[in-house]
Amino acid sequence: MSENVFVISAAMIPFGKHRTSSYVGLAVSPLIDAIRDAGIEKSDVDAVYVGHSYGGMMTGQRICKEIGLGTVPTVNVDNACSSGATAIHEAWQAISQGLIDIAVVIGVEKLTQFGGGTLPLSPEDREVKQGIIMPAVYAMRATRYLHETDATPEDLALVSVKARKHGALNPFAQFRKETTVEEVLNARRVADPLTLPMCCPTGDGAAVVVLASERARKRLDSKPGIRVAASVLHSGHVAEGFRDMIKPEISYDSARDAYAMAGVGPKDLDMIELHDAFSIAELIYYEAFGLAEPGHGVDLIRDGKTTFGGDVVVNPSGGLLSKGHPVGASGVAQVAEAFWQLTDQAGARQIDKARWAMTHVTGGGTAGLDHGACTIHIFEAA
């Protein structure tokens, strides 16, 4: 029998360039805050799951030992940008199957260690060898989307403008200054038609959430929490040769399965935190999630349907474009935002009467797959 699982606390540090911090230094503070806010002792923790991609051997153990949290299983999870969300999925599985009652999930990454530029990718990947790195992939998607629809570069800029507007309200966002369409379009070009503000910034960060079974939550005297209504993890279809650049089947499939598991549809959602690593991604994912018909995602950003006061608030945190994208931490930070929104703790960016939230993060580009991994969670206020 599957048990209900709840997120009962969340904490994070402001994402940014923390050049003098180690992985341990980034993660210890939110780890302490999340355990304290959950109202638990270290001895209550049954397992720790740690998402990161570039932290090296035993990152989780090195973090936990700093607060004296040992002996329990500590699992290090690498699934590229989906690492943190995959760690949450693993914790959810263990609790829902009745194996454990309380799990701590840490997402952490330090990208300033690479000195700037694009993310290091596998030198063995044949597409990487040909220069198909992430900005190139999304530039091709943007070019195709502009060709197939009536979208324009101004529409791509509108996504960045919305992200900066939301990020200006979030004390954890890397960019907290609003921008204009003109500033976005006139910025340095990274990969045509994408300019710099249409690409998420690199940076460092850490986020932590605590998950608990219904039994444990009752024992803890009903701390504020949100129910995990769906937790879905997919890998991409293997498809050599042609693939549709503007129809990421892994996100379509994951959303379909998440809606079925949660028993809700796109019209029920009050907020979505999605993987907007580049502005074009947001328009494509509107369509993947059923918010708009194929080719019409651009209408939502034009009509203001995905900001405060619209049909559903997409990336109220500012998303990756504004908050930043320390890859292993991003999926956990998305869930932290869902926790704060559904428990009425989001401050200036609070969505009125938010009840349902979805988080979505993809992971890695691999030759023959549109993405390596995709994790979607749906949460209900509880």
pLDDT digits (tens, 9 = 90+) for 370-382: 788 999 999 999 9
Provide the pLDDT for residue 178: 98
Residues 186-196: what's their mean pLDDT? 97
CA–CA separation, 150 and 152 (whole Å): 7
Helix count (H) and strand count (E) of the chain? 13, 12
Q: Is the pLDDT of residue 270 over 60?
A: yes
The pLDDT confidence band at residue 222, using thresholds 50, 70 and 90, is low
Lowest pLDDT segment from 15-19, 237-241, 311-315: 237-241
Please compute the mean of the pLDDT values over residues 353-367 and round it to a whole number: 90
Average pLDDT of span 120-136 = 81
Q: Which helix (H) or strand (E) holds 166?
A: helix 153-167
**Closest alpha carbon to 140 in 102, 192, 104, 96:** 192
CB atoms inside a 10 Å sphere around CB 112 = 17
pLDDT reading at 242 higher than 90? no
pLDDT surpassing 90 at residue 271 = yes
- φ, ψ dihedrals at 113, nearest 5°: -65, -20
The residues facing 271 across adjacent strands are 313, 357
Query: What percent of the chain stands above pLDDT 70?
Result: 99
Mind telling me the catalytic residues?
Answer: 81
User: In sequence order, which residues have a C-beta less than 8 Å from that of residue 303 and are 6 or more positions away?
Assistant: 310
**Residue 236 — very low, low, confident or very high, per pLDDT cuts 50/70/90?**
confident
**273 close to 315: Cβ distance less than 8 angstroms:** yes
Q: What percentage of the chain carries pLDDT values higher than 90?
A: 86
Q: Is 306's pLDDT higher than 80?
A: yes
Q: What is the pLDDT of residue 366?
A: 74
Written as six digits, the tokens of 82 are 């989906």
User: In degrees rounded to 5, what are phi and psi of residue 162?
Assistant: -65, -45
pLDDT digits (tens, 9 = 90+) for 76-123: 999 999 999 999 999 999 999 999 999 999 999 999 999 887 777 777
Mean pLDDT of 142-154: 98
Please give the average per-residue pLDDT across 229-236, as a whole number. 96
State residue 121's pLDDT score: 77
Identify whether 193 is preceded by a cis peptide bond (ω within 30 of 0). Answer: yes
Give Cβ neighbours of residue 373 (< 8 Å, ≥ 6 apart). Answer: 79, 80, 82, 86, 233, 234, 235, 236, 250, 362, 363, 364
- Predicted confidence at residue 1, as pLDDT, reads 52
Q: How far is CA 275 from CA 8, 23, 218, 363, in A?
A: 24, 23, 33, 9
Query: At 174, which amino acid appears?
Result: Q
Please determine, for residue 137, whether its predicted confidence score (pLDDT) is greater than 70.
Answer: yes
Mean pLDDT of 156-170: 98
Whole-Å CA distances, 85 to 70, 298, 307: 23, 27, 24
- Give yes or no for a contact between 216 and 18, defined as CB atoms under 8 angstroms apart: no
Q: Residue 279 above 60 pLDDT?
A: yes
Largest CA distance in the chain: 57
Instruction: Quote the tokens at residue 376.
Output: 């979607």
Question: How many Cα atoms are found within 13 Å in the side-chain-facing hemisphere of 157?
Answer: 18
- The pLDDT of residue 368 is above 80: no
Q: If pLDDT is split at 50, 70 and 90, which confidence band does 46 have?
A: very high
